Structure 1
Amino acid sequence: MRDFHIPGRSAVLSTHAMAATSMPIATLTALDILRQGGNAMDAAIAACAVLAVVEPQSTGIGGDCFCLYAPAGTGQVVAMNGSGRAPAGATPEKLRADGLTAMVNTSAHSVTVPGAVSAWEKLNKAHGKLSLAQILAPAAKIAEEGHPVHARVAHDWEAGAGKLARHEATARHFLKDGKPYAVGEVFRQPALGRTLRAIGERGARAFYEGEIAADMAATLRAAGGTHTEEDFAAGLDGAEFVTPIQSKWRGLDIFQCPPNGSGLLVLQMLGVLGECATPEQGPLSTERLHRHVEAARLAYRDRDAFVADPAQVDVPVAKLTSPDYAKQLRALISDEAAMRELPPAGMAEMLPKHKDTVYLCVVDADGNACSFINSLFEGFGSGILAEKSGVMLHNRGFGFRLQEGHPNCIAPGKRPMHTIIPGMVMKDGRAIMPYGVMGGHFQPMGQTLFLTNHFEFGMDVQASLDFPRLFPYAGKVQIERGIPTEVIDRLNRMGHACEMIDKPHGGGQAILIDHQRGVLMGGSDPRKDGCALGY
């Protein structure tokens, strides 16, 4: 039970349906779609499209998408990989000839063909009930009429002002008198509204072929990219249904999307933590946080060595998520001191620091559960705006490398290592929780903190999201405010180099399905502007 003397909010409860997103208007849109006869998939796509308008720093139709969907009564989890591929001209030799020695986050070479729209259409056709036009209409209207900028969006907008000023077209539309949009100012995107309506009327083909694709390809070529209209046409069928990966933990079935996503790190970390007894000192104890950090250091080491596009690289998922391997990793962790050194961790120090993503989840009256994530990668992606179509292009290709032989070395038609990972918890063949935690490469750490907060330490859904976070990055442990000074001091004495951070770690949403009582319980992260709502 929460302490009502302390600022915060309770979990949201309902009996019929529920949505949780990072913006109130997106949550409301999801409920509106459900009331119009749509299901959880329809509502998730509609909410995501709205977020692509009102959280332009985090997501957009110029980005990628992953989804886990649990159709009621099937006992199954469906996975969608909506990540795009590098253009045909994207070779290491071409990039080096253009003067690059490493991937640059604002370069057109870091733009892969967006996969989100392809994924939306395939998900809608396979599992939706309403037309794409009906689903995308709310987002199109908001783009045309405008929407006031919320606090977290404004904070991120200010941080991205330098990137937005790099390109004349971007600056024209995303800066106001040369300055970022502030809280309460209304931001309109009529060109994006037209594009959303075109996709609704003519499907994904309107995005990947014709004038919209021509606009994106021409914009990227003008910025130095190799992209052609043929590359975009190939992206029409780019999204694909894949087999999810899963593991048992505390009597639950935890599902994740397979590589090129990083979901296997969640399974790996839970496996290691499952080898540890629950610390008697509690969730905010040094013992708990130390073990979590050490498990993360080992898992992220493996990610940087192995996770890539499985169509071009062999990724040893079964070994990395096996119980035997979890036991071996647990044996490396001392409860007395931090590991001084790890085996080689690949390119960890080259990972970009600040990524932005939106995560949402929906459960409908029939019990269908959708876990959905859509991203531009870094704030405002590449910062390159296709002006005529209103599409801000992501920079997911920044996850590639130029080193020959590296699993993520860029290549034509290759997907980069991805950080966005929706999660789904099943028990006895039924979905009990779609959930996710945003925040770039923090996401596996965030998901495992959330899951252990709830299922191991007994916090409710909202409290599990509220709880202070930490994350090992580049030799430091980044600490949010809220972790006691004495715990930080002890972590430092154990060998961790702790540092306080200004920007909090990620943001998340979750909906717990209590089948026995017929109640839905939702939470939405206070680190974002959103909310959970149900009826």
Structure 2
Amino acid sequence: MRRKGRLLPLTVTLLVLLGVSPGQGLAQQQPGSPTPFGKPNAATPNPGVDNTAVPATRPVGYLDQTRSEVLARNGIAATSNPLATAAAERILLQGGNAIDAAVAASATLGVVEPMSTGMGGDLFAIVWSAKDKKLYSLASSGWAPKAWTAEYFTETLGVDEVPGRGINSAVVPGTVSGWDALLKRFGSMGFKDVLEPAATYAEQGFPIHERMHGQWRSSVNTLRQDADSARTWLPDGQAPDLYSVFRNPEMAHTLNVLRKKGRDAFYKGEIAEAIVAKSRAAGGVMARDDLAEYRSEWVTPLSTEYHGYDVHQLPPPGQGFAALEMLNILDVCVPRLGFDLAELGPRDPRYWHLLIEAKKLAYSDLHTHNADPKFAAPPLDRLLSKEYAATLCSKIDPDRATPLEVNGSDLGGTVYFATADRWGNMVSLVNSNYSDFGSKVTIPRYGFVLANRGSGFTLDADHPNVVAPRKRPFITIIASFITKDGKPVMAFGNMGGGTQPQAHAQHIINMIDLGMNVQATTDVARFDHSQSNDVTSLDAYLFDLVGPRLQEMGHQLNRANGHAGGYQGILFEPDPRLPEPILPSGRGERRGEAYERPVNGVYRAGSDPRKDGHAGGW
């Protein structure tokens, strides 16, 4: 030990003579990361891709679950962006109900996740009314301008399909009308209050999250094709940097106009004038009366029974009935084929084979029949019957993948979220621009894009979804709700174009058949089959586990990361020992026992790690 002690001063002396401090010399032996704290740079725009650490495990329950369910009794929201969750919570804390909070979250998502949703898009919602103890469904998808005919596209524009972007992909926006309809029927607040959080984020700026940043970067080239889009969404000609602050003062102005003047400012006033002017300048044909005469619609939800629970979806032109038909096929055909999904379990390749084959059959009917029911009503009584599902069982080969019968598009750019309040109201809401930044056409001075939902039409005169004036196109967005014995169980949904019905069915099976909780269902791997090319994407770890056997069975597969959209869900766990909530008497002063007593049970919420958001409540 004495000998080592004599060497240390000599080592220090040599380092000093060389002009290097002892600490500096040691530090040079262990250089730090070029992206400390995960902050990106020009060479590494996404530092997360270099993380080779293995995942952590939980001390209880499902080891790979990303987080616990969020539990609350006074109010709760689950969205794809933390700022939207916070906006909903703020409204709930101010005494607003779940409907008020849902509109606040929708408006905020249009600001902070502009590639996915916004005022230029479409909205569907399912509301559980605590007062009426029943479900209501709102369809607020836009209709085609009255000048849109098949001949307009084939002869005037000289195209053989409705464009995927540009002004001639944009129908009349339904979002703002949907906000107004929800608030007028079930809300306790108006635009002035619920749009304030979104307006503030747009004016002051908001930080760019990781998932959102990736989507924004992928749209740079197409956004540059519209001068107003490039000016609005591409500061310095590029997507905003990760963790940077992005402001949209023009959208803040639009939201403040709505706060002061209401819905009519969008459909009849100054915003309508700006939309029509932009349409004309860009070569479109949207007219003032296309906007002024547009109305949202309250519709009757569809449902099917699955293993003791009633699963509800909105009717066409949404694609929700495909989820119900897929569940019916699995419910009827899996036992007839000699299997049980719960017994097979998700580590068995045949489990996935049966789900994929059921999906293909349901989507073949979807793409054959789905259309605006005012023009060509799909035969839903037949398609959603268990008897019809039984006729499809022979089309499932338990050992081989069957080729697609009908192809269809799978685009998507959407947000889904859920809210619930202390009185037992629950909202399941989906809001969308369709593909990222929709049509890529931005309304100058108002800072929002028009969706490209018109590309959901076909120009095939023999198809029920052929384009026509004031017709609503095939629309992918859907919201779902589960009840049991006429009582609310869960509001849930999954964004992502053609992903949605098949993901809904997988969540139902995860929770009802496999016993997963509200968070675990989204933390496990999902399949995502494309009806356009018959290729099934599997999460990487799932591909490694079951992919080789599925390929032997004839499935075309893709090994994927972060696919299959993004899920949010809120489940209500009633407690019969607790007193029923006291419902507010009206829109007056927000005080008294009605605003103090929590709901008679517990809300349990989950949020998808594939997106930037989370659930929050108190």
- Sort the TM-score into its range (normalised by shorter chain): over 0.9
Deviation, structure 1 residue 342: 4.2
For structure 2, the residue ranges without an aligned partner over 5 or more in a row are: 1-58, 335-339, 577-600
Residue deviations 1:187-239, cap 9 Å, x none?
A: 1111111111111222110101122111111112221111112211122xx21
What is the Cα deviation at residue 91 of structure 1? 1.1
**Match in the other structure for 1:314:** 377
Deviation digits for residues 28-55 of structure 1 (CA, Å, limit 9, x no counterpart): 1111111111111000010110000000
Does structure 1 residue 408 correspond to structure 2 residue 465? yes
Structure-to-structure mapping, 1:341-380, within 5 angstroms? 341-343=403-405, 345=406, 347-348=407-408, 351=409, 353-380=410-437
Match of 2:35 in 1: none
Aligned partners of 2:404 and 2:534 also within 8 Å:
no
Match of 2:453 among 393, 396, 402: 396
1:294-335 Cα distance to aligned partner (Å, 9 max, x none): 011001111110000001012111111101011122332122
TM-score between both structures, scaled by the size of structure 1: 0.96
Higher mean Cα deviation, 50-59 or 264-273? 264-273
Distance 1:116 1:306 in 2: 25
Seen in structure 2, the aligned counterparts of structure 1 residues 94 and 495 have a Cα distance that, compared at 3 Å, is same
Match of 1:8 in 2: 66
Corresponding position: 1:80 with 2:138: yes
CA deviation after TM superposition for structure 1 residue 291, in Å: 0.8
Please tell me the residue identity of whatever aligns with 2:365: D
SS at match of 1:373: strand
Give CA-to-partner distance per residue, 1:509-533, whole Å, 9 cap, x none.
0011111372211000001000001
Cα distance in 2 between the residues matched to 1:132 and 1:64: 18
**Aligned partners of 2:67 and 2:109: how far apart in 1?**
23
Letter of the aligned partner of 2:310 in structure 1?
D
Q: Which of the numbers 244, 251, 254 marks the counterpart of 1:192? A: 251
Where does residue 493 of structure 1 map in the other structure? 552
Please name the residue that 2:606 is paired with.
523
Measured in 2, the distance between the counterparts of 1:209 and 1:71 equals: 31
CA distance in 2, matches of 1:417, 1:167: 26
Which consecutive residues of structure 1, in runs of 5 or more, have no partner in the other structure?
none
SS of residue matched to 2:116: coil
RCO comparison, higher one (Cα < 8 Å, 6+): 1
Query: Over the residues paired in the alignment, what is the CA RMSD in angstroms?
Result: 1.5
How far apart, CA to CA, are the structure 2 residues paired with 1:342 and 1:58? 29
Residue 62 in structure 1 maps to residue 120 in structure 2:
yes
Alignment CA distance shift 1:427-1:73 (3 Å): farther
Distance in 2 between residues matched to 1:274 and 1:499, nearest whole Å:
27
TM (normalized to structure 2)?
A: 0.83
Q: Equivalents in 2 of 1:74, 1:251: separation in Å?
A: 23
CA distance in structure 2 between the partners assigned to 1:295 and 1:532 by the alignment: 31
Does residue 126 in structure 1 map to residue 209 in structure 2?
no
- Structure 2 residue matching 1:482: 3-state secondary structure: helix
Q: Give the letter aligned to residue 149 of structure 1.
A: I
Given residue 29 of structure 1, which amino acid in structure 2 is its aligned partner?
A: A
TM-superposed deviation, 1:2: 5.0
Give the direction of change, closer, same or farther, for the CA distance of 1:391–1:342 in structure 2 (3 Å limit).
closer
Change (3 A) 1:202 1:334: same
CA radius of gyration, larger in = 2
1:72–1:430: 8 Å Cα contact kept in structure 2? no
Alignment of structure 1 residues 161-310 onto 2, 5 Å: 161-235=220-294, 238-275=295-332, 276=334, 277-310=340-373
Question: Is structure 2 residue 96 aligned with structure 1 residue 38?
Answer: yes
Question: Match of 2:159?
Answer: 100
Please give the alpha-carbon distance, in whole angstroms, between the structure 2 residues aligned to 1:7 and 1:300: 30
1:23/1:529 contact within 8 Å kept: yes
Contact 2:347 2:545 in 1 (8 A): no
Amino acid at match of 2:226: H
**C-alpha contact (below 8 Å) 1:216/1:391 kept by paired residues:** no
Aligned position for 1:144? 203
* Pick aligned residue for 2:399 from 336, 348, 354: 336
Whether the 8 Å contact between 1:167 and 1:383 is mirrored in structure 2 is yes
CA contact (8 A) 1:64 1:84 kept: yes
Give, in angstroms, the shift of residue 107 of structure 1.
2.5
Q: Distance in 2 between matches of 1:247 and 1:5?
A: 33
Q: 1 CA distance for matches of 2:452 and 2:199?
A: 24
Query: Is the contact between residue 306 and residue 315 of structure 1 (CA under 8 Å) also seen in structure 2?
Result: yes
Residue 453 (structure 1) aligns with: 510
Q: Could you say if the C-alpha distance between residues 310 and 134 of structure 1 is closer, same or farther in structure 2, counting changes exceeding 3 Å?
A: same
> How many angstroms does 1:156 deviate by?
0.3
Cα-to-partner distance string for 1:467-513 (whole Å, 9 max, x where unaligned): 11112211211222220524101110111011123551100100111
Q: Distance in 2 between matches of 1:199 and 1:449?
A: 39
Aligned length: 527
- Is the 1:2–1:10 contact (alpha carbons within 8 Å) kept by the matching residues of 2? no
Local SS of the residue matching 2:542: coil
CA contact (8 A) 1:437 1:443 kept: yes
Residue of structure 1 equivalent to 2:107: 49
Corresponding residue for residue 483 of structure 2: 426
- 8 A Cα contact 2:303 2:310, kept in partner: yes
Show the counterpart of 1:437. 494
- Describe the shift of the 1:525–1:2 C-alpha distance in structure 2 as closer, same or farther (beyond 3 A): farther
Task: Quickly say closer, same or farther: Cα 1:76–1:489, change in 2 above 3 A.
Answer: same
Identity %: 39
Contact 1:37 1:130 in 2 (8 A): no
Shift, 1:7, TM fit: 6.9
